[in-house]
């Protein structure tokens, strides 16, 4: 890679070198013991603290460039590495280190009539290509998770964070070397040339998985050009359905939390569905609570009959991930209609029912076609840490390999291991 105009320039040969090196590193890292991997993680955390002025300086260059280029303050906020951000990166690595090593676990074993003992063993996936935008903390988080699960990782971060990412990766790779693990286990790439990125996406012999994290357009472009399996972290159009006879105190509390606690994230509620028999008792107070929190309501006809002065929801609203203090509200006739609405409009991310009826809760859990389905709890729990996975590399919205929040185990595959004593096929 060569620097050109402050960015790297890569060609096909570089793609071959990087992927070949990652593949070799992955084979070595994948069979390294837990102690060696944990030692590398310890050195990574220490290294980030020891060399923080190096990282702050690199980050200052990115932040100054971003300001010069007139980027949005919220963008600059995500780009900036403060003492607190650095501390959370270090803590994240330390937490990953404390997690159980998934590699080598026999998840199940059974004996065949011919005496063969058949087991399934967790193994690393191999080489993972992470494509993400300009949050330098992802560089440390993703690297730590990949190393712990024995995977080599190729990092393609946003170009606006290039100096920060380079500095962080420099620290992480030093730690790998000191722990006697292959330096190719964590590699950072950057290229302004889309064709080079697409060349990476053709390396299905050397890269095993692509994880794009970012906007819809990025994810669509990656899925379109990739010959490698892609785990999509797509948008979240999340619903809460308040059933007839629901506990209204729970409904108010959960619906408020699901929308207001952090509206800008994918597991926040975007559409509220209310059973017609409970709408009159539930909606006025709920909408009043939302009004006080600055939430704009876009309601269906029946919602607007119950509470005056509400914007009318358009068809497009039911498909929209606002990521903002805006909420679509629809009154439905039945549980069936609620499920039908969700399966039609949702993004298969996270949906919740508030109900006292056990049969309704079971029906909702079974029939809602989403990665995370809840009863009497906030959609905001759809998160690897909250669900007890100990970490999160993303939330998969397609069903293959992983569906929903992905932790360390989702960064592994399973192979068959078989012990015999001379068995042959007849």
Residue from 380, 393, 397, 406 touching its own copies (CB under 8 A): that is 380
373 near its own copies, judged by CB under 8 A: yes
Q: Which stretch binds its own copies (CB under 8 A): 41-49, 141-149, 324-332, 365-373?
A: 365-373
Q: Judge whether 294 and 327 are in contact, CB under 8 Å.
A: no
Residue from 19, 139, 143, 257 touching its own copies (CB under 8 A): that is 257
Residue from 85, 138, 167, 254 touching its own copies (CB under 8 A): that is 254
Q: How far is CA 257 from CA 175, 262, 282, 381, in A?
A: 41, 8, 15, 11
Q: Which stretch binds its own copies (CB under 8 A): 60-68, 187-195, 326-334, 403-411?
A: 403-411
Compute the least distance from the CB of residue 177 to its own copies, in Å.
Answer: 22
- Restricted to residues 264-303, the positions that interact with its own copies (CB under 8 A) are none
Q: Parallel, antiparallel, or unpaired for β 152-156 and 127-131?
A: parallel
- Restricted to residues 118-137, the positions that interact with its own copies (CB under 8 A) are 118, 121, 123, 125-126
Q: Judge whether 166 and 6 are in contact, CB under 8 Å.
A: no
Q: Judge whether 29 and 151 are in contact, CB under 8 Å.
A: yes
Task: Enumerate the H helices of 234-275 as residue ranges.
Answer: 248-260
Q: How far is CA 42 from CA 35, 96, 103, 146, 229, in A?
A: 10, 10, 19, 15, 31
- Restricted to residues 28-57, the positions that interact with its own copies (CB under 8 A) are 30-31
Q: Read out DSSP for 23-61?
A: HHHHHHHHTS-HHHHHHHHHHHHHHHHHTHHHHHHHHHH
Q: Judge whether 128 and 145 are in contact, CB under 8 Å.
A: no
319 near its own copies, judged by CB under 8 A: no
Q: Which stretch binds its own copies (CB under 8 A): 2-10, 88-96, 297-305, 372-380?
A: 372-380
Compute the least distance from the CB of residue 220 to its own copies, in Å.
Answer: 9
314 near its own copies, judged by CB under 8 A: no
Q: CA 24, CA 182: separation in Å to the nearest integer?
A: 9
Q: CA 135, CA 98: separation in Å to the nearest integer?
A: 24
Q: What angle do CA 39, 169, 395 make, to 5 degrees?
A: 85
Residue from 223, 244, 281, 323 touching its own copies (CB under 8 A): that is 223
Q: How many residues bind its own copies (CB under 8 A)?
A: 72
What is the separation of C-alpha 357 from the centre of its chain, rounded to a whole number of angstroms? Answer: 32
249 near its own copies, judged by CB under 8 A: yes
185 near its own copies, judged by CB under 8 A: no
> Measured from the CB atom, is 20 or 159 closer to its own copies?
20
Q: Which stretch binds its own copies (CB under 8 A): 5-13, 175-183, 295-303, 385-393?
A: 385-393
Compute the least distance from the CB of residue 252 to its own copies, in Å.
Answer: 10
413 near its own copies, judged by CB under 8 A: yes
> Measured from the CB atom, is 295 or 374 closer to its own copies?
374
Residue from 64, 224, 314, 334 touching its own copies (CB under 8 A): that is 224
421 near its own copies, judged by CB under 8 A: yes
Helix axis angle, 83-98 relative to 52-68, nearest 10°?
130
Residue from 16, 49, 98, 419 touching its own copies (CB under 8 A): that is 419
> Measured from the CB atom, is 97 or 232 closer to its own copies?
232
- Restricted to residues 338-357, the positions that interact with its own copies (CB under 8 A) are 343
Q: What angle do CA 260, 92, 149 make, to 5 degrees?
A: 115
């Amino acid at each position: 890679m060569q620097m050109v105009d402050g960015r790297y320039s890569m060609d096909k040969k570089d793609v071959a070198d990087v992927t070949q090196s990652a593949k070799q590193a992955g084979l070595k890292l994948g069979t390294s013991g837990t102690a060696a991997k944990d030692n590398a993680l310890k050195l990574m955390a220490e290294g980030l603290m020891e060399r923080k002025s190096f990282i702050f300086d690199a980050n200052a260059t990115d932040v100054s460039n971003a300001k010069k280029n007139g980027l949005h303050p919220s963008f600059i906020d995500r780009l900036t590495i403060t003492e607190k951000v650095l501390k959370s990166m270090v803590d994240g690595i330390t937490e990953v280190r404390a997690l159980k090593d998934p590699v080598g676990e026999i998840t199940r074993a059974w004996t065949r009539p011919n005496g063969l003992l058949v087991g399934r063993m967790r193994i690393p996936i191999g080489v993972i290509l992470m494509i993400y935008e300009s949050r330098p903390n992802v560089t440390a988080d993703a690297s730590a998770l990949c190393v712990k699960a024995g995977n080599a990782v190729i990092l393609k971060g946003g170009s606006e964070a290039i100096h920060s990412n380079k500095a962080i990766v420099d620290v992480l790779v030093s730690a790998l070397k000191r722990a006697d693990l292959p330096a190719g286990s964590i590699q950072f790439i950057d290229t302004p040339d889309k064709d080079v990125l697409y060349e990476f996406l053709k390396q299905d012999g050397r890269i095993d998985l692509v994880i794009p994290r970012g906007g819809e357009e990025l994810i669509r472009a990656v899925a379109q050009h990739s010959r490698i399996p892609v785990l999509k972290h797509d948008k979240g159009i999340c619903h809460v359905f308040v059933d007839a006879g629901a506990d209204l105190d729970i409904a108010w509390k959960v619906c408020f939390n699901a929308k207001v606690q952090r509206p800008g994230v994918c597991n926040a509620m975007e559409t509220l569905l209310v059973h017609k028999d409970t709408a009159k008792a539930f909606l006025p107070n709920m909408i009043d609570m939302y009004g006080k929190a600055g939430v704009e309501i876009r309601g269906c006809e029946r919602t607007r009959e119950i509470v005056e002065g509400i914007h009318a929801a358009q068809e497009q609203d039911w498909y929209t991930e606002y990521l903002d203090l805006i909420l679509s509200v629809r009154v439905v006739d039945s549980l069936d209609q609620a499920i039908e609405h969700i399966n039609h409009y949702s993004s298969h991310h996270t949906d919740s029912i508030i109900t006292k009826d056990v049969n309704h809760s079971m029906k909702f859990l079974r029939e809602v076609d989403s990665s995370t389905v809840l009863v009497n709890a906030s959609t905001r729990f759809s998160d690897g840490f909250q669900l007890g996975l100990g970490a999160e590399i993303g939330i998969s919205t397609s069903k293959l390999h992983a569906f929903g929040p992905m932790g360390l185990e989702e960064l592994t595959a399973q192979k068959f291991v078989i012990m015999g004593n001379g068995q042959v096929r007849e």
